[in-house]
Homo-oligomer: A and B are copies of this chain.
Amino acid sequence: MVKLDFGKANGLIPAIAQDHKTGEVLMLAYMNEASFNETLKSGKATYYSRSRDSLWKKGETSGHVQHVKEIRVDCDLDTVLLKVDQVGDAACHKGYRSCFYSKVVEGELTIAESKIFDPKEVYK
């Protein structure tokens, strides 16, 4: 079994979700050991919500599940990279494909992508 290093930051490690076809970085969330094991078992990205303090099955409310195609682990065994197939094309709860829709231009943030869905329609 893969043993990751959950000891550095209160049992949590960052997990990056990347589109397995385009290479686009969709989001970063956190995993504890239980969520990593659940991701391995289910084949669907499962994180740990720091704000809700509980396991977070991505897409449970929105339907925007991430099917895991490949799992990479970094050299220090303390970061996970998931290559995923993003259902609904949008990973961000604000309606964008990627959570990284803001770009720094001359020291200020500008929105660099278009919304794919209206959050009010998806999270009722």
* Residues of chain A whose beta carbon lies under 8 Å from any beta carbon of chain B: 1-2, 8-9, 14, 16, 18, 22-25, 27-28, 40, 50, 70-76, 79, 81, 92-94, 96, 99-104, 107-109, 112
Contact = CB atoms under 8 A, between A and B. Distances in A.
A70 B72 CA distance: 24
A108 B16 CA distance: 19
A108 B14 CA distance: 20
A112 B96 CA distance: 31
Nearest to A108: B2
Contact of A14 (B28, B81, B112): B28
B75 A94 contact: yes
Given A25-B72, A73-B100, A73-B102, 11 more contacts: A1-B108, A8-B50, A23-B24, A25-B25, A40-B104, A40-B107, A72-B101, A72-B112, A73-B104, A73-B109, A75-B99
